[in-house]
Amino acid sequence: MPLLRIEPDNDTKHLLDKRVNDSVEGELDETDETLSRSGCITLLSAIVTYSDGVLDSEYTDRPSAKAFIAKHPELMDMLTTAWQSKSYSDIRNLVILQARNTSDDGERLTGKMKAELGLSLTKPYHGAAVDAFYEYLEQNQKDFSGGIKYYARYCSIVQSSGIGKTRLMLELAKKGVLVLYINLRPKDDRTGFPLRDSIPADMLTGDLNKISANHYKARCSAFFTSVFKTILEVLSAYVQQGCLDPIKQWNDRMCDLSSPYRTQFFERLLDIYNEVYKSIPKSDKTAEIKKGGGDEVTASMAQLSLQESSSVHLTTAAYAAMLSSLPWLFTEDSTPKLAIALDEAHPLHEKTTFHPATILCRTISMYSGQESDQSGVWVVFASTTSKVAHFAPPRDMSNSARVTEGGELVFAPFSQLGWDQHAEPLNAIPATDVAKLGHIIGYGRSLWTSLKAVFDTHAEFFNVARDKLCGVKAYNPTIQSQALAFLDQRFGLDICFGHRHAVEHVESSVASHLCVCITTTEDRAWSYTTYPSEPFLSVIAANLLHRTDTSLQQILAVLKAKVDDGMIDIGQSGELASRLLWLLAKDLFVRIGQPKSSRELFLMVEDSKAKDWDSELIDCKMVSVTEFFEFLFGEDFWSRAPTGAKTAFQDAYINFSHWVSMDVDIRGNDEDQLE
């Protein structure tokens, strides 16, 4: 493809140029008349990084930038000219570098969406979730050293999409913890954010179906060995340079996901990783797995549990060297010092002849198994799937091979991420403004507010939310998981714990349908989940329930089948029927007078073309009590009511969009009522 040009964006040119120049200051020689190939790679990577998402993020990685320059060598002269003038619009506006828009099949995020989502990670942080997470890690450290036998220093965050797992881990840096954030997103996931960290992700998740368990064990050892060596190398350099606060300098650079320093760190990590991996004896990587008497996973883990190879000693030595060489960081107390955050960790459960997560966690156990170790080094796995909490220690086989002894405990996942981070104070919102879209999206997961500036139309915004609730783009009300997601969000379904499909349903709800994980039992056998009060998501669910002439009927048929099967509890007195009656009646009432085509809309017809955020949502708009009761109970309802009742309620309005189950009476005592 030729290096075609488009017109430069003059409005942002100077700002973007300054960001690029600041980022490469000290890395490129001001006096160089011609940039070296390495300098061109550095400069190109910086230009792409600081393009506000306009350029293809693939070229933020130096290997990709290097390959691009090798394919287009004429670019080196252009980069040199741009460096001399300190102006990069000619490079920034090459068509070949432009980020592709998201197609219908979700191939890629748009540049605008990446920029807005990236900005959401730098806005002021709301809520106290990071304080709770810090205390959670601190308590884990105390428990690990307190005599109870835990398997290793790793823990997990289990929560559905858009609630702030990534931001939580990055925000831990504000608590003085050294954070190494790594995203393990699958290669084919081009729509997720943050983007995949390709170098470490390939080390831990690449080509798992082509290697043996022992190959992967060597990989894991080489990975952690190189992580400890590279961290020691970087922090030692900061100290030698006279940096007064090495932890802050690290976090300022490494927790900025668009920073070129992250790219440089991972490139150095790769160099050390390759050296370490080559030094591991071939026998450690190619030892055959004895088959027979159990599946391959059990067989491989039985062998690995007996084999302490030289790769393990490399890791423990690198870990010990890091701790002893940085005593100012790894002090002897229970506070967390270093968090290796592995985000989007579900690829570690990829189906193969071995279980990657189990081997990875065994490596962590090997270097962190000393109860007396107060270093505070933690690995944190984060994912929407509850499988991330199932990194169970291997069970030791007895001589008879018929009895197993349970392994040590692992830490229960952290799930207290808070809610309503962007909500305005209730007393600041007039009752007549409650239904406005800009207000409603603040009461729920932070994703909705983060996406507010991304889309040009409301329809695009609603479609993203709908796809996330459905779990797929192809909406089908007859699919059990989708139908139950819509119903559960709006009607607060009670799942019978003992039902054979209950666990599968709960896990699917969190992983694919935006249900929220509240907590997990210590043995990880059951997760307690719910759909908290989130009116915007209720609007999405209501739209899906009534989207076609038959969708409600089809969805209720799925519910009936699950009630008959014993999976859904209808309540002691049939409370589920009451919920359905009241909410469905409101759904139908607010749609009176709306044209049939409005089933595809979420806003009142008069606001459907509005582009501002003051448009009213159909399912959040307050309704007249007198008119609603007549619709629900019949036109003669008020004639059967006590005299004066209709007059008393003529100025009364009611507003509700979903049902939330509560375990506590919030009315207070009689004295509170009198006051």
pLDDT number for residue 522:
56
- For 292-318, give one letter per residue: b (16+ CB within 10 A) or e: eeeebbbbbbbbbeeeebebbebbbeb
Per mean pLDDT, which range of 31-35, 189-193, 261-265, 575-579 is the poorest? 189-193
Closest CA relative to residue 310, chosen from 285, 335, 343: 285
Please give the average per-residue pLDDT across 486-503, as a whole number: 81
Q: Are 23 and 260 in contact (CB under 8 A)?
A: yes
Q: Count of CB atoms within 10 A of residue 219's CB?
A: 26
Residues whose CB falls within 8 Å of the CB of residue 597, separated by 6 or more in sequence, listed in order: none
pLDDT number for residue 384:
74
Q: Characterise 571 by phi-psi region: left (phi > 0), alpha (psi -120 to 50), beta (else).
A: left
Please give the average per-residue pLDDT across 341-359, as a whole number: 86
pLDDT number for residue 555:
92
H or E stretch covering 2: none
pTM: 0.66
* Mean pLDDT of the chain, nearest integer: 78
Distance CA 382, CA 27 (A): 34
pLDDT number for residue 107:
42
Please give the average per-residue pLDDT across 248-263, as a whole number: 89
H or E stretch covering 116: helix 111-120
Distance CA 56, CA 70 (A): 17
Q: Count of CB atoms within 10 A of residue 242's CB?
A: 6
Token pair listed for 140: 């884990």
Backbone angles phi, psi at 89, to 5 degrees: -65, -35
Per mean pLDDT, which range of 34-43, 242-251, 406-415, 530-539 is the poorest? 406-415
pLDDT tens by residue, 498-544: 777 777 777 777 666 777 766 665 555 556 677 778 888 888 888 88
pLDDT tens by residue, 433-442: 888 888 888 8
